[in-house]
Amino acid sequence: MSMGAGDSIASGDATPVQAPSSAEAAGLPTGTCVNLLGLPRAELAAFCTALGSKPFRARQLMNWLYKRGCNRFEDMSDLAREFRALLTERAELRLPEIVSEQRASDGTRKWLLSADQAQAFEMVYIPESDRGTLCISSQVGCALDCAFCATAQQGFNRNLSTAEIVGQVWLANRELGFQPGGDRIITNVVLMGMGEPLANFRNVVPALRIFLDDLGFDLSRRRVTLSTSGLAPQIYRLAQEINVALAVSLHAPDDELRSQLVPINRLHPIAELLQACWHYIDEQNGRSVTFEYVMLDGVNDSPAQARAVARLLAGHPAKVNLIPFNPYPGTQFRRSSETAIGHFRDLLLRGGVMATVRRTRGEDIDAACGQLVGRVTDRTVVRLGSRVEAARTRAAGVNA
Ligand code: SAH
Q: What is the pLDDT of residue 20?
A: 44
CA of 210 to the centre of ligand 1 (A): 24
CA of 140 to the centre of ligand 1 (A): 15
Q: Which residues contact 165 (CB under 8 A, 6 or more apart)?
A: 38, 136, 137, 138, 203, 204, 207
Separation of alpha carbons 216 and 196, rounded Å: 23
Q: Is 273 in the pocket of ligand 1 (CB under 6 A)?
A: no
pLDDT tens-digit profile of 298-332? 999 999 999 999 999 999 999 999 999 999 989 99
- In a mutational test of the pocket of ligand 1, which residue from 126, 228, 292 has the highest number of ligand atoms less than 8 Å from its CB? 292
Q: How confident is the model at residue 390 (pLDDT cuts 50, 70, 90)?
A: very low
Separation of alpha carbons 392 and 400, rounded Å: 10
Separation of alpha carbons 380 and 84, rounded Å: 43
Check if the beta carbon of residue 120 is closer than 8 Å to that of residue 114: yes
CA of 13 to the centre of ligand 1 (A): 54
Beta bridge partners of 320: 291, 355
Separation of alpha carbons 214 and 72, rounded Å: 21
Average pLDDT, the chain: 87
Exposure of 47 in the CB half-sphere (CA atoms within 13 A): 24
Check if the beta carbon of residue 204 is closer than 8 Å to that of residue 198: yes
Separation of alpha carbons 297 and 31, rounded Å: 57
Q: Is 227 in the pocket of ligand 1 (CB under 6 A)?
A: yes
CA distances to 77, 184, 243, 354 from 221, in Å: 31, 16, 6, 21
Check if the beta carbon of residue 185 is closer than 8 Å to that of residue 207: no
Return the ligand 1 atom nearest residue 142 CA. 1
Q: What is the pLDDT of residue 25?
A: 46
* Helix boundaries (H) for 176-269: 201-212, 232-241, 255-261
Q: Is 229 in the pocket of ligand 1 (CB under 6 A)?
A: yes
Q: What are phi and psi of 298, to 5 degrees?
A: 70, 5
CA distances to 82, 104, 143, 215 from 77, in Å: 12, 39, 45, 18
Check if the beta carbon of residue 219 is closer than 8 Å to that of residue 211: yes
Task: For ligand 1, atom 21, name the residue with the nearest CA.
Answer: 370
Q: Is 292 in the pocket of ligand 1 (CB under 6 A)?
A: yes
Per-range mean pLDDT, top range of 24-38, 253-267, 352-366: 253-267
34, pLDDT greater than 90: yes
Check if the beta carbon of residue 301 is closer than 8 Å to that of residue 338: no
Q: Is 325 in the pocket of ligand 1 (CB under 6 A)?
A: yes
Beta-strand pair 354-357/224-228: unpaired
Q: What is the pLDDT of residue 57?
A: 94
Q: Is 344 in the pocket of ligand 1 (CB under 6 A)?
A: no
Q: Is 225 in the pocket of ligand 1 (CB under 6 A)?
A: no
Q: What is the pLDDT of residue 273?
A: 98
CA of 250 to the centre of ligand 1 (A): 10
CA of 108 to the centre of ligand 1 (A): 18
CA of 370 to the centre of ligand 1 (A): 5
Task: For ligand 1, atom 3, name the residue with the nearest CA.
Answer: 192
Q: Which residues contact 129 (CB under 8 A, 6 or more apart)?
A: none
Separation of alpha carbons 349 and 160, rounded Å: 38
Q: Is 291 in the pocket of ligand 1 (CB under 6 A)?
A: no
* Long-range CB contact pairs, 386-391, < 8 A, 24+: 386/156, 386/157, 386/158, 389/143, 389/156, 389/159, 390/143, 390/156
Catalytic positions are: 122, 369
Closest to 190 in 3D by CA, of 41, 397, 368, 393:
368
Return the ligand 1 atom nearest residue 149 CA. 19
Task: For ligand 1, atom 13, name the residue with the nearest CA.
Answer: 249
Q: What is the pLDDT of residue 209?
A: 96
CA of 70 to the centre of ligand 1 (A): 33
Task: For ligand 1, atom 5, name the residue with the nearest CA.
Answer: 192
In DSSP notation, 66-128 reads IIS----GGG-TTS-HHHHHHHHHHEE---PEEEEEEE-TTS-EEEEEESSSS-EEEEEEEE-
Closest to 140 in 3D by CA, of 393, 394, 400, 375:
375
Q: Is 122 in the pocket of ligand 1 (CB under 6 A)?
A: no
Q: Is 265 in the pocket of ligand 1 (CB under 6 A)?
A: no
Closest to 165 in 3D by CA, of 127, 194, 203, 209:
203
Separation of alpha carbons 224 and 145, rounded Å: 25
Q: What is the pLDDT of residue 389?
A: 43
Q: What is the pLDDT of residue 143?
A: 92
Helical (H) or strand (E) element with 187: none
Alpha carbon 76 to its chain centroid, in Å, reads: 28
Q: What is the pLDDT of residue 28?
A: 60
Least-confidence region, from 14-23, 119-128, 219-228, 345-354? 14-23
Mean pLDDT for 167-184 is: 95
Q: What is the pLDDT of residue 387?
A: 39
Q: What is the model's pTM? A: 0.88
What's the Rg (C-alpha) of the chain?
A: 23
Q: Is 393 in the pocket of ligand 1 (CB under 6 A)?
A: no
CA of 68 to the centre of ligand 1 (A): 33
Return the ligand 1 atom nearest residue 292 CA. 13
